[in-house]
A and B are shown apart, each in its own frame.
Chain A
Amino acid sequence: MNPIAGMGGRVGLKGTDGEAYEEALRRGARPVSPHRAIEFLNHVRSTDFEIIAAAGAMGEEEVLASNKKDLLRLVVGERKERTTAEDTKTAAREMVEKGTDIIVFVGGDGTARDILDAVDEEIPVLGVPSGVKMFSAVFAVNPRAAAKVLDEFLRGRTSLVEREVLDIDEEAYRRGVLRIRLYGYLKVPLPRDDLLQYMKTVSKGGEEEENKLAIARTIVEDMEPNTLYLLGPGTTVKAVADLLGIDKTLLGVDAVVNKKLVGKDLDEAGILRLLDRYSKAKIIVSPIGGQGFIFGRGNQQLSPRVIRRIGRNNIIVIATWNKIKDLPYLRVDTGDPDVDEMLRGYIKILVDYRRYIVKKIV
């Protein structure tokens, strides 16, 4: 648990990274995450598991204050007065080494980033939301919902999906500039609709990886010759490159023509140069989980100028069933209101082998 996460919110700060923590304290901020951690723990129904907690204010105290105190098996890290990002990383790392099956963290985007640095996709991670900024798609809706997910995970009824960790420049954010970068992916448990398996319905694509492959296969089968394909960030889009045998930058934009790589980790200028060379071009993007942004979050290289030149009809949106089912809308925030307006309206989303659904971009 990040003991200082979320403290900036009530006192009008945009986070507690770096210097802001001191300022938050000066403004009289009080901790919020301990309360949320306890709420989470108290709502977990299962009791047949054990807990490894980070020392002191980073989880140990909350476990002991909850109705799960008897389940505490081990404490990692050192008890400290002031904790830092390094402490989060060390504790998470140690938990992996002690063989935990899942890490539950309480915090915001900054905490998610630290966990990602420490454990990458080695083990599943579940976020209990308690930050000011929670742009990342690794959080449950609230502590109680997180408790339900953990229960399902413990019963073996979840699928593991990769979800985005987004990195916000807090300094810029406090100045009112939203600069968001896709930082990476964590492996998150998602409750499975196992009841659907025997109901009057076709299987919704089965497991996540198979679903991605089905989407990728459709894209590859439909690829037109001499057309520039700009592959946006993310694992769903990466599956297309994998199928083509191309080594794609996971977090960047790559370009493909006639199933061959013609540009890697491109910036806006690089993309525009390629657009000069090819008369036909298409963009392939996947929405950010939980939020539905297809432009303006983690893929700013696909700028308003790029989008304008390629045109709305040449935007291919792809998403797995697991990702799309909880998204009521898609969103755009390119920074250019005219381009945003042009993008709005209904669009087809490729969700499985030759299978599309129609959703609105708002």
Chain B
Amino acid sequence: MSAAPIIDVRGVRRSFRVRQGLFAAPRHVAAIDGVSFSVGAGEVLGIVGESGCGKSTLARVILGLLPPSAGEVLVDGQRVADMDRRARARLIQPVFQDPFSSLNPRRRVRDVVSMPLDAQGDVPAAEARRRVDEMLARVGLDPSMGERYPAELSGGQRQRVAIARALVLRPRIVVCDEPTSALDVSVQAQILNLLAELRDALGLTYLFISHNLAVVEHVATEVAVMYLGRIVERRETSALFGAPAHPYTKALLASVLTPEPGLGIPDTGLGDAMPDPSNVPPGCSFHPRCPVATARCRVDIPATARVAGGQSDCHLL
């Protein structure tokens, strides 16, 4: 990791009020609970975990779309919560999972891509037009596509439009929230290669969220594994995939080799007990599903231990 981190997440917690009835007292459910990490400029941090582990909430907090309940997110040395929305937009942009809901169906592709420029308020129309054309070409779309509506495009083309929209302001960070999991397998590779090319050409930093370990191994320089709102292991990609330290990571990696690929959410081999963020187990939150849990795991929250190429939270290390 380079010296000055471009993303610095410090002890972020985000909880949601859940009302269960008119007269029931609202409960608070922590979607992310005490997450800290930093990403150096030019790195690709992959974030993996099952659905419901808080990956997307984390993405939204880092993008400044959701305020954290506690802790703070610094992007390029500034608190995201305090940044002007225009300045924030010039620094960090998202690419979402579903290209069918991430493009406004009532606007032409050209207007969709131009939207961040328009929101800046000081980009002349001719300049905006030129930059949109340039960006469309860059993501591999013919400028004539700009006159079409999203409904006329394929899933892969739509995701290219979403990438063009994210990059038209030349941000330094792109938060990719499952950017390929809604696409056909053949198109996934194209989009991943496009993202890799753009990263090299534009010097981007990616936060790459996915439940697909194969994809993360392909693109990420470092990987963070999330479980129930916490990061349980954070290591360089080759170290993590070569010798996983945390029992949860081991289970995830083992699940990649299941005979039914492409089912999306991996079968972790940990039983059907989906983790419930509203009822986090005491001690190590993973202990009910952990194959090697000891008595201590049920009581004490594990501390962070150093392992080769990173760190992990487990008593057994």
Do chains A and B interact in one complex?
no
Interface residues of B (CB under 8 A from A): none
